[in-house]
Amino acid sequence: MTDESLPALRPLAAWPRLESAVAPDPEVERKVAEILAALTPEEKIGQLVQPELAQLTAEDVRAYRIGSALNGAGIWPDGKRHAAVRDWVDMVDHFWSAAERAWEGRPFRIPFLWATDAVHGHNNVYGATVFPHNIGLGAAGDPELIRRIGAATAREVAATGMDWIFAPTVTNPRDRRWGRYYEGYGEDPALGYAYGRAMVEGLQGDAAALRTDERVLATLKHWIADGGTADGGDRGTARCEEQVLRDIHAQGFLGGIRAGAQSVMVSFSSWEHPANYDHTPGRAEPYNHKVHGSRYLITDVLKGALGFDGIVTSDWDAHAEVAGCSAGDANYAINAGLDVLMVAGREAWQSVYRNALEGLRSGAIAPERIDDAVRRVLRVKMRAGLWERPRPGERSLTGPDAPAVIGSPAHRELAREATRKSLVLLKNTPGVLPIAPSARVLVCGSAADDLQKQCGGWTLTWQGDDIERADLPGGATMADALREAVGAGTCTVDPALESAEPGAFDVAVVCLGEDAYAEMRGTVKPWRSIGYADLKRSYARDLELLRRLRADGVPVVTVFFTGRPLYCTEEINLSDAFVVAWLPGPFAQGVADVLVADAQGGVRYDFQGRLPSSWPRTRDASAVNRIPPHLPDYRVPAEETAPTGRHRPLFAVGHGLSVHEASPAGPLEPHVPEPAPPAPAVDGPLRVLDADGTPYRLRIGGHNTWSREDVHLDRVTDCLIVRSTPLPAGAGLNLVFKGYPAFVYAEAPGSEPADLRGYLDGGGCLRFSVRVRQAPSAPLHLACHDDFPAQPGLDLAPWLPDAGAEEWTEVSVPLAELAAIGTDLRHVAVPFMLYTAGTAELDVAEVSWRLD
């Protein structure tokens, strides 16, 4: 990547007025005004509510005049993980037809829109092409490649009958602890600008192409500064100056809006700044700076100053996090400027509908605000040519004579090309690369034969941590790709190095990688190291494997799969060549294309990737970014760290070697962490839940419950995933897990962690009483932090009694068991958590930590 391939940005003294490639059309505006004038209040609100597939019926669409719907990650037609393309088309067609029936007898019709997350290809659909995640594409530094990927993704989405996707993500990630870091293209705002523009052009084409049924509506997300929150907190708070918003965090949006993007999704995060005013002061609960409630950022800036005239949509149930709103009441957020409300739960979206209608009738929501929202929805639908498009099942890419588009060879070859171009060579010892095709190759490491680590989150499921080979037809792991490149006879795969003798090989390719994660579960807590080997016990085993190979003297090529730059200086020192492959997707042949020589021993493809983000020198260099070249007077925000002294990047933005370039001689200087302080003394039990109540906040989280539900000790708490009922004795809860990924936990006030190692040093245990009413249908885990399942949990099967017993059983889990699996007892914000993805019913009471 070179600066010449990116636009030359300049400081912005004010928000610029943007000229969109999809220009206003007087005839479109005339038709929109005609329809708007004929709509009833109920019909208007119906156009603004967007439920998800699992919580919507065709009858709902007809009855409420619903204007759009979506399928989230891991939500498929009839719940079929491997639903065929025709299943998707028929499902969309079914809802489209219901919407058509809704307008029968009226002098007009309003077509239905189906939306989906397609963040690295059409990633929810079985058999679709999965491209590298954005951080890898950023390393490629090739806007034209992005444009081609956008066009390919559009065709695959259109081949399932859908019209709208929630991509691209144009966030500017500034803190490596953030679990969504890989969704951004990199820390350089010029990269975000160029790629935001190119991806929108690929997805939508120009104004004429957008009207065809081979393009889709793009969504720029997430407005704004979700990558600039303090400590990399997901849904956290940015406190930067407005100048930083304009010059850093807005650039991807500016490029995308100029390219004609027709929708913008708002961020879960907050912007704490005096300019972010409370548009309805005097309420019982003052505005809490959530961007979803920001009239300044949504209406004054995005719609007003920038002139964006498309749809502003909410994120999944995000309105519920705005002060004064709830899952079923979005009126304050509507008044801030939201046009389409993504509401998951059935009861919630119906309540949002009723409350918005009541707000319109009472004057709490001005008619002009609702008309603005509906006008934008109709305008975008008309610009997309929805009135002229055939029904979803009869379009050019869905009909019986349509070409096979999903997972086509051309698209997979494009994904392989993108993988090749994204690879960054951080270290190179001459003569090691490329690997001769006749070489005896040992393939090992935790990522050697693991599609999850290659693909990351948002791959068929939300977190991507449960996919298997069968989920990705045609996918190849590094082991597969290297066997193919050098021949199965000379390639040995031994991930944990359990049987192979390293000395028998010419080279070892060691594949390291983060486990798959997506938002929330991938965020590293502020007190934790960003050292790869520090994050999980399984990652530390990769480091031990490298040390063993170094001792055996075999040349080592390390391939690192990661969603973000992590401290791995020792891993680099132990390698003869070190390649950052990011999250390339399931086509590891693209990595082998660069690692392995041609038949004559020459270079088939050289390394082209360059770092899109700074590489950390220390384990705590989590928010260190270069000073943007276009901002000579840039002042580093409080959320970041100046790139000076010990915080100088180990490798700067733009770094990357060719196979013909050698690294400087000598090892890199490792960062030696400060020793942990002694464990504080503890005295007596730690109460979590007993007859006197609890000093903690009891909560439910998991599938479709992103904003968390509070558990009450005086009444039933019932949500999609868990039902909690207080027990008569007042000492505990009856918990019913309903078959979705769900966790019930006790959280410290303010989520402040405590050092509880004293209980471990004293031989303590976590003790609770339990009666199992219905045996768990899947593993039930115990965890003692707020990172599970990103961090380890203990399967409770050995401790649980049989189901049906009326007597209580006291469970006593030694803290040493939790420490042995890697639980960080120095920082415990959640001293008790139960998690399962299955069904179960149990009574839980008398929860505490004890020394006896």
Q: How far apart are CA 587 and CA 710, in angstroms?
A: 43
Which residues participate in catalysis according to the annotation? Answer: 315, 519
Q: Which of 764, 766, 767 is nearest to 682 (CA)?
A: 764
Q: How far apart are CA 375 and CA 309, in angstroms?
A: 9
Please, which residues have CB within 8 angstroms of residue 31's CB and are 6 or more apart in sequence? 382
- What are φ and ψ of residue 690, in 5° steps? -155, -165
Q: How far apart are CA 762 and CA 202, in angstroms?
A: 61
Whether 586 and 536 have beta carbons less than 8 Å apart is answered as no
Crossing angle for the helix pair 367-383 and 26-38, nearest 10 degrees?
A: 130
Element (H, E) at 312: strand 311-313
Q: CA distances (Å), 528 to each of 47, 531, 684, 827, in order? A: 45, 9, 28, 9
Rg (Cα) of the chain, in Å, rounded? 27
Strand 765-774 and strand 839-850: the pairing is antiparallel
Q: How far apart are CA 364 and CA 358, in angstroms?
A: 8
Is 645 exposed, middle or buried, given 0-12, 13-18 or 19+ CB atoms closer than 10 A? exposed
Place of tokens 């400060």: 674
Whether 731 and 690 have beta carbons less than 8 Å apart is answered as yes
Is 646 exposed, middle or buried, given 0-12, 13-18 or 19+ CB atoms closer than 10 A? exposed
781 beta partners = 795, 835
Q: How far apart are CA 469 and CA 480, in angstroms?
A: 12
Q: How far apart are CA 482 and CA 448, in angstroms?
A: 10
Q: DSSP letters of 478-544?
A: HHHHHHHHH-GGGEEE-TT-SS--GGG-SEEEEEEEPPP--TTTTPPPTTS--BHHHH-HHHHHHHH
* Sign, Cα dihedral of 197, 201, 206, 210: negative
Q: CA distances (Å), 476 to each of 334, 471, 497, 607, in order? A: 46, 12, 21, 20
Q: Count of alpha carbons within 13 Å of 686, Cβ hemisphere only?
A: 25
Strand 556-561 and strand 577-582: the pairing is parallel
* Sign, Cα dihedral of 27, 28, 31, 36: negative
Q: Which amino acid is at 730?
A: G
- Reduced to 3 states (helix: H, G, I; strand: E, B; else coil), residue 121 is strand
DSSP state of 129: P
* Sign, Cα dihedral of 346, 349, 353, 356: positive
Q: DSSP letters of 676-739?
A: PPPPPP--S-EEEEBTTB-SSEEEEEETTEEEEEE--SSS-EE-SSEEEEE-TTSSEEEEEEES
Q: How far apart are the first and last CA of the chain?
A: 60
Q: Count of alpha carbons within 13 Å of 736, Cβ hemisphere only?
A: 11
Q: CA distances (Å), 447 to each of 417, 422, 493, 562, 606, in order? A: 21, 18, 11, 10, 23
Q: DSSP letters of 418-449?
A: HHHHH-EEEEE-BTTBSBPTTS-EEEESTTTT
Is 644 exposed, middle or buried, given 0-12, 13-18 or 19+ CB atoms closer than 10 A? exposed
Element (H, E) at 581: strand 577-582
